[in-house]
Chains A and B, each alone.
Chain A
Amino acid sequence: MKVHEFERIVTKLGMETRDSRDRLAWLVHEGVTVVRTRRSHGNSKYMPEHQIRQQLKVSESQFAGLISCDLTKEDYIKILTAKGIISSKPAP
């Protein structure tokens, strides 16, 4: 996994970031932090794709869709909702 691919996911999902020892990224949905991931600083640093995918709670094909343009943020929110990572709103 490349740095620009990681950053593409962060940008697409509108994740909050903070540069610490690593670059930390959090997805905040409706004021609630639902998933987190991170990468090392530096373009040449290795990024364990499998572990980052696990932190984002998606399958391999969904992860590939996040990197490409196939999966939108709305699609991702639906995936997390279906998995119970995001609690679905009660009907009004």
Chain B
Amino acid sequence: MATAAYELLRPGTTEIIPVMENEPIHQSLELPRQVASERPTLEPVQVLIIGTLPTVRPEHVFLGTLKDPQYRLRKPIPLDVSVQESEVVVTWSEIDEFGHGGTTGAAVDDFGQTLRELHRQLYAPEAHLGADLQRVKQVLGEYIEPRTK
């Protein structure tokens, strides 16, 4: 077993008794006075930022999944992201379809639901479509396919 001793030191003065004489000597043990260094002066410097500041919100995103058990995506759908009056709007310009919401995620969710509904309507047996909506249907078919059980 190891043993250790310690001495509790207290601030202040003490008396040193010389070894050779019996007269006590009063001696200050106070530390030298501490002088604080001067604070450095900070001068404002103008910084010119060239270009646009990076933004957290991307300008383009890809929709990779449709939250629907009946459909799956063959390939990701490219979406343009913009902000209009504090509302995030995602647009698939190829078929002029959009989604919007308070956040990018909400806008993409809205877009996904819209897309599923559009797919159902365009692929309905009773649908008689004009030339442009036929093209939209064809594009949808290139990206979306029904899931097979």
A87 and chain B: residue at smallest CB distance: B131
**Does B30 sit at the interface, judged by CB under 8 A?**
no
Query: Are A31 and B132 closer than 8 Å at their CB atoms?
Result: no
Query: Are A48 and B132 closer than 8 Å at their CB atoms?
Result: no
Count of chain A residues near B, Cβ 8 A: 24
State in angstroms the CA–CA spacing of A15 and B87 once bound together: 27
B96 and chain A: residue at smallest CB distance: A54
Question: Please, which residues of chain A bring their CB within 8 A of the CB of B113?
Answer: 21
B87 to chain A, nearest CB (A): 4
| Given A21-B117, A33-B133, A34-B133: A50 and B84 interface contact (C-beta under 8 Å) | yes
A18 and chain B: residue at smallest CB distance: B121
Count of chain B residues near A, Cβ 8 A: 21
0/1 string, B100-121, CB within 8 A of A gives 1: 1000000000000110011001
State in angstroms the CA–CA spacing of A34 and B133 once bound together: 6
**Does B129 sit at the interface, judged by CB under 8 A?**
yes
Query: Are B132 and A34 closer than 8 Å at their CB atoms?
Result: yes
Query: Which among A21, A34, A46, A57 has the greatest number of chain B C-beta atoms within 10 A?
Result: A46
Question: Please, which residues of chain B bring their CB within 8 A of the CB of A55?
Answer: 96-97
- Mind listing 12 A-B residue pairs with CB under 8 Å? A22-B114, A24-B117, A24-B121, A32-B128, A32-B129, A33-B128, A33-B133, A35-B132, A35-B133, A48-B98, A51-B96, A84-B132
